[in-house]
Amino acid sequence: MSDRYKCILLVGAPGAGKGTQGKILGSIPGFYHLACGDVFRSLDLTSPLGKKFMEYSSRGELVPDELTVEMWQQNMHAQTVLSLYKPAQDLLLLDGIPRTVAQAKALEKYLDVLLVLHLICPDEDEMVRRMRRRALKENRIDDADEKVIRRRFEVYRRETAPILNYYPANIIKEVPATGSPAMVLMSVLDVVAPLQDHHFRNPLNP
């Protein structure tokens, strides 16, 4: 269906570099980057949803699916109404959502998933180091505690990794996420640039 958002999903364990790559790609005209964790962090943390987010994220756990999908939907609506995201022209880069098979199913009616970019970093200790550095820099309390980080890995393996079996194998591309952000970017662009080029040359009718 053409009224679904054409999108690329960024998937990877915590610390694999989804946010870093997503932000870089999002600065290229024709991409719109939306990180679910950033949307949660921007909430008023004294609001009911903000409190829920703190309750779960401080333990390294996922916010329940229904709340997450509803928040995502409202946010997408707002971005579209404000024309920050222009579905006819922009390829949507979703970072950190869906994070469970239930979310993937719930989002199906909104998304036309062109590609699932799986960032792979086999070295868990390297990812933990990245997360602790980032936690200090970006004031992410959930990532400052190693116990919470390890919990996030468990949750990733149990709840998020199965979405890689949910999408058809031919749209899943694996990219090694080890090395500098610029090196990783080269591999990411190899996969993503041709897709964006196609979208750029064939914008949808609004």
Asked if residue 93 binds ligand AMP (CB under 6 A), the reply is no
Q: What are phi and psi of 92, to 5 degrees?
A: -85, 130
**Position 11 contacts ligand AMP (CB under 6 A):** no
Nearest to 19 by CA among 167, 137, 157, 158: 137
Binding residue (CB under 6 A) for ligand AMP from 20, 21, 68, 79: 68
DSSP secondary structure letter of residue 110: T
Q: Cα–Cα distance between 79 and 92 in angstroms, integer?
A: 11
**Where are any strands of DSSP class E within the chain?**
5-12, 31-35, 91-95, 111-120, 172-176
| Coil, strand or helix at 112 | strand
96 binds ligand AMP (CB under 6 A): yes
Is 121 an interacting residue with respect to ligand AMP (CB under 6 A)? Answer: no
Q: Give the integer Cα–Cα distance in Å for 6 and 114.
A: 7
Stretch that binds ligand AMP, among 25-33, 58-66, 80-88, 188-196 (CB under 6 A): 58-66
Nearer to ligand AMP, 39 or 199 (CB): 39
- By CB under 6 A, tell whether 12 contacts ligand AMP: no
Nearer to ligand AMP, 62 or 91 (CB): 62
Catalog residues that contact ligand AMP under the rule CB under 6 A: 14, 36-37, 40, 56-57, 61-63, 68, 96-97, 99, 103, 142, 152
